[in-house]
Amino acid sequence: MSLAKDFSKLINCQDDSSDKDKICKCISCDKINNLAHPDFTIIERSSMCSDTKCVSCKSTKGQQIRECVISENIISKSRFKPFMSNYKVVVINQANYLSKVSSESLLKTLEDIDSNFLIIFLIENLSDLTETIISRCQIWKLNKISNQNILEILLEKYPDREKDIAEIMSFGSPTLGEASDMLNDPIFFEERQEVLRRIVKIFNSPMSDKLNYSKELSLLYRKDKERVLNELRIWKNLFRKILRAEDADENLETISILKLIKEKNKLKIKKNIENILSAENNLKFNAIPSLVFDNFIINLEV
Ligand SMILES: [Zn+2]
Ligand SMILES: [Zn+2]
């Protein structure tokens, strides 16, 4: 997203003389920074169309990128020239959440599009975007930034949050964007601690309690998919962290949890990670959630 914004600023910048290492103050860059540029739009899962009565927006709120949003922000706009800049840019964040209809509706626009209209799809796994869209795009692959680099960037940006940053970095391998989101989310730390406590409890409970937990997950999944997926991610990251436990920072709160599971052997932990990956994968391909969670729980190696 940062790159997409910087790129949009660069191609629309109105100050040729400006030093590109500094923050440019020209009207175009300034408006993009403030997300107030008429030719720069970001579409997210949470984006709604301008029709306040739109049934589609209300019924699938936040679950996918809807066709009405695509139609309003891309297809209609593609007929007009940029308002104040050289290029009109639309960035689709998490493009894997484009609904099937949304993807299909884009195909014709992508073919006929003017050279001064850019659509940027941001996506983590290219395979989550349909082949028909990929074939109409130019692909830029970004390498993952190393944990060390992310750590340095975050420390420079948030010098007073050293402890929080260490905690985030010690837990799995977040991307730079994920790590910044976590830092800026006040309930993140609290919620994560709570999930961790629950995981340890479940891990050490009899099968009947474990199956109850599985039921809770599938109920919650119906209401709030993202939260359950996040919980699975925390499970996964916890096991991944245990695999690398020898360099764990002793000051972390998670260390007490780690000690509980630390004695388990690596093979078991790897099997648990595979177990979670396959649960995530099955959910992605719309398997029945209750079966997925039961399977996950039953196959958990303790
Ligand atoms: Zn500028
Ligand atoms: Zn709508």
By mean pLDDT, which of 104-113, 124-133, 184-193, 293-302 is the weakest? 184-193
Closest by CA position to 124, among listed 68, 61, 174: 174
Give dist(CA 240, CA 112) in Å, integer. 46
In which domain, by residue range, is 86 found? 2-134
Decide if 179 is inside a domain.
Answer: no
Domain end call among 134, 151, 166: 134
Over the stretch 23-34, which tens digit does the pLDDT of each residue have?
788 999 999 999
By mean pLDDT, which of 107-111, 163-167, 218-222 is the weakest? 163-167
Decide if 279 is inside a domain.
Answer: yes
Task: For residue 99, report the distance from its CA to the centre of ligand 1, in Å.
Answer: 35
Decide if 168 is inside a domain.
Answer: no
Domain end call among 92, 109, 134: 134
Give dist(CA 221, CA 284) in Å, integer. 12
Which ligand is closest to the CA of 58, given by its number? 2
By mean pLDDT, which of 13-17, 150-154, 206-210 is the weakest? 13-17
Task: For residue 102, report the distance from its CA to the centre of ligand 2, in Å.
Answer: 12
Task: For residue 90, report the distance from its CA to the centre of ligand 1, in Å.
Answer: 18
pLDDT at 172: 59
- Strand ranges inside 10-63, DSSP E: 40-43
pLDDT at 102: 93
Over the stretch 228-285, which tens digit does the pLDDT of each residue have?
988 898 888 778 777 766 554 444 445 555 555 556 577 888 888 999 999 999 998 8
Task: For residue 70, report the distance from its CA to the centre of ligand 2, in Å.
Answer: 9
Q: Do 11 and 118 lie in a common domain? A: yes
Q: Work out whether the CA dihedral 291, 294, 295, 296 comes out positive or negative.
A: positive
Which ligand is closest to the CA of 53, given by its number? 2
pLDDT at 168: 78
Q: Do 115 and 192 lie in a common domain? A: no
DSSP β-bridge partners for residue 117: 88
Give dist(CA 287, CA 156) in Å, integer. 43
Question: Six-digit token pair at 91?
Answer: 């960035």
> Which whole number is the average pLDDT over 217-230?
89
Which ligand is closest to the CA of 10, given by its number? 1
pLDDT at 258: 58
Task: For residue 12, report the distance from its CA to the centre of ligand 1, in Å.
Answer: 7
What is the chain's mean pLDDT, rounded?
A: 86
Decide: helix, strand or coil at residue 91: strand
Contact 182, 188 (CB under 8 A): yes
> Which whole number is the average pLDDT over 118-143?
93
Q: Going by C-beta distance under 8 Å and a sequence separation of 6 or more, which residues neighbour residue 202?
A: 209, 210, 213
Decide: helix, strand or coil at residue 188: helix
Which ligand is closest to the CA of 70, given by its number? 2
Decide if 144 is inside a domain.
Answer: no
Best-predicted range by mean pLDDT (112-121, 177-186, 259-268): 112-121
pLDDT at 252: 47
Decide if 161 is inside a domain.
Answer: no
Q: Do 125 and 217 lie in a common domain? A: no
Which ligand is closest to the CA of 27, given by its number? 1
Give dist(CA 21, CA 9) in Å, integer. 13
Q: Which phi and psi angles does 90 have, rounded to 5°?
A: -120, 125
pLDDT at 171: 60
Over the stretch 6-20, which tens digit does the pLDDT of each residue have?
999 999 999 877 666
Is 0.85 surpassed by the pTM of this model? no
Using left for φ > 0, alpha for ψ between -120 and 50, and beta otherwise, residue 172 falls in left
Give the pLDDT band (50/70/90) at residue 170.
Answer: low
pLDDT at 72: 92
pLDDT at 193 over 90: no
How many Cβ atoms from other residues are within 10 Å of residue 138's Cβ? 6
Question: Six-digit token pair at 285?
Answer: 């391909």
Domain end call among 93, 113, 134: 134
Task: For residue 12, report the distance from its CA to the centre of ligand 2, in Å.
Answer: 29
pLDDT at 205: 87
Task: For residue 58, report the distance from its CA to the centre of ligand 2, in Å.
Answer: 7
Decide if 141 is inside a domain.
Answer: no
By mean pLDDT, which of 66-80, 172-186, 193-207 is the weakest? 172-186
Give dist(CA 49, CA 51) in Å, integer. 6
Decide if 165 is inside a domain.
Answer: no
> Which whole number is the average pLDDT over 179-195?
81
Decide if 142 is inside a domain.
Answer: no
pLDDT at 242: 74
Give the pLDDT band (50/70/90) at residue 159.
Answer: very high
Question: Six-digit token pair at 42?
Answer: 């970001």
Q: Do 110 and 201 lie in a common domain? A: no
Residue for token pair 């595979």: 274
Question: Six-digit token pair at 290?
Answer: 């209750």
> Which whole number is the average pLDDT over 56-74?
87
Task: For residue 37, report the distance from its CA to the centre of ligand 1, in Å.
Answer: 12
Task: For residue 37, report the distance from its CA to the centre of ligand 2, in Å.
Answer: 22
Strand 117-121's sheet: what is its strand order? 40-43, 88-92, 117-121
Q: Do 217 and 283 lie in a common domain? A: yes
Question: Six-digit token pair at 1?
Answer: 């997203």
Which ligand is closest to the CA of 11, given by its number? 1
pLDDT at 250: 45
Q: Which residue has the higher pLDDT, 169 or 208?
A: 208
- How many separate domains does the chain show? 2
Q: Do 31 and 129 lie in a common domain? A: yes
Question: Six-digit token pair at 86?
Answer: 């050289």
Give dist(CA 83, CA 36) in Å, integer. 13
CATH number of 107's domain: 3.40.50.300
